[in-house]
Amino acid sequence: MPNFKIFQDTPDQARIKIYGSQDVALNTDSTGNMGITSTGLSVTAPANGLMVTAPAEGLSITPPASGLNITSTGLSVTAPANGLMVTAPAEGLSITPPASGLNITSTGLSVTAPANGLMVTAPAEGLSITPPSSGILITSTGLAVERSLATTDVSTTVGNFSDTAGAPDTTYNVLQQSSYTFGIVNASTTIAPATVKLQISPDGTNWIDHVGPITLQTGDVDTLVASIFLKYARVYYAAVDSNSPVTLNIFFQGQG
């Protein structure tokens, strides 16, 4: 067609190209999508703030391999009036600081719980808090911790024992026990008295007779309680008459 050589020789010249204010054509990637070629992206929020609403399936932010860097002088997150909620996925929420550690450069971090308190719910496998080498310092006026006490309940039976010189029962390390008691039952079926005493030790080798000896007739029940705290404790028992063998039920019960 005369005077319209571009249609037959150079059809690319017939395309419409869009230029910005700097007389530079807008760029697209290999798929035709708009490409951003500047060294950074700047988003300026309006005066009343910037709101990002995630779709129903959630919002995922994947940082590059080198990590996510916030270069502004500070980051301010203002929660709405009814509070700010972060909901972790079913597999849990993991915050991994970089190798140099996690640094909060503000003058302090303040967490203000709502009026009905602040609840941290650990996953089924438990919650682990690892303090730095210098320890954790709690500067509030007071910390209330409610805990359940660990309990220990162990029993042994000494049957048909006739040695009048006696023998020790099981040695217990009681360092983790805030209180403990030995209970002894003379469970002999015939007339067979026995003596029992409480021994304590700092090293498990050198023993002190601390309480007793107490004589238990057949059917008697008694307790042995230490008034001095040492690391180890045990019951030492003996038959009164070698011709009258005894049966003893010895209980160790404590709470830590």
Q: For the chain, 256 residues long, give each residue's pLDDT as a single digit of tens.
A: 556 565 556 666 666 677 767 777 777 777 777 666 555 556 666 666 666 676 766 666 766 666 666 555 555 656 566 555 666 666 666 666 556 555 555 455 555 666 666 666 666 676 777 666 666 666 666 666 555 567 888 999 999 999 999 999 999 999 988 899 999 999 999 999 999 999 999 999 999 999 989 999 999 999 999 999 999 999 999 999 999 999 999 999 998 7
Please state the domain extents for the chain: 157-255
CATH class of the domain defined by 157-255: mainly beta
Residue 156 CA to residue 251 CA, distance in Å, equals: 7
Q: pLDDT value at position 30?
A: 75
Contacts with 152 (C-beta within 8 Å, 6 or more apart), sequence order? 177, 180, 252, 253, 254, 255, 256
Q: pLDDT value at position 31?
A: 75
Report the SS3 class of residue 23.
coil
pTM (two decimals): 0.47
Q: pLDDT value at position 224?
A: 95
Give Rg (Cα) of the chain.
Answer: 39
